Amino acid sequence: MSKKDSLQVDQQQLAEAWARTLPTVLNTSDRAEVQADEAEANVLRVHIATAGRNNYGFDFKCTYVDSREVKVDLVDVERDGDNVDERTDVIQTLVDDYVRHIHECAQQLHSFTHS
């Protein structure tokens, strides 16, 4: 057995599993889209749209460090299609919440990613 515990699953199947699982850990009114990153096989792109009057859209880069652990980076936050300052308390609270949900989704998919 190799020491390196790398991700050994098909990226498209992984993106589809995420697309099915992520909505189950988010608020019911939020919408999520998950896509395989075309440049990196261990990366998924996650877009979460908030419901309600704020109309925020959050883009995350979710990198599999190994078959279990994901590193989540905020790429962009938009409101009605315009970039917004992601340093505000409201945005930071939402980002922290979504990062937690993304990690939760990764945990739920351990049986899929860690074989």
User: What is the per-residue pLDDT across 33-61, written as a single tens digit (0 to 9) for each?
Assistant: 999 999 999 999 999 999 777 889 999 99
Q: Which residues partner with 34 through β-bridges?
A: 46
Distances (CA, A) of 64 to 14, 37, 43, 106, 107: 11, 12, 6, 9, 12
Q: What percent of the chain has pLDDT above 70?
A: 96
Which whole number is the average pLDDT over 90-97? Answer: 94
Q: Is the dihedral angle over the CA atoms 97, 102, 77, 19 positive or is it negative?
A: negative
Q: What percent of the chain has pLDDT above 90?
A: 74
Q: Are strands 43-49 and 56-64 parallel, antiparallel or unpaired?
A: antiparallel
Read off the DSSP letter of residue 90: H
Q: Of 99, 40, 58, 77, which is closest to residue 15 (Cα–Cα)?
A: 40
Q: Of 4, 112, 20, 14, which is closest to residue 63 (Cα–Cα)?
A: 14
- In the predicted model, is pLDDT for residue 2 greater than 80? no
- In the predicted model, is pLDDT for residue 112 greater than 80? yes
- In the predicted model, is pLDDT for residue 73 greater than 60? yes
- Specify whether the backbone of 81 is left (phi greater than 0), alpha (psi in -120 to 50) or beta: left
Q: How many CA atoms lie within 13 A of 92 on its CB side?
A: 3
Q: What is the pTM of this model?
A: 0.92
Residue with the larger pLDDT of the pair 41 and 114 = 41
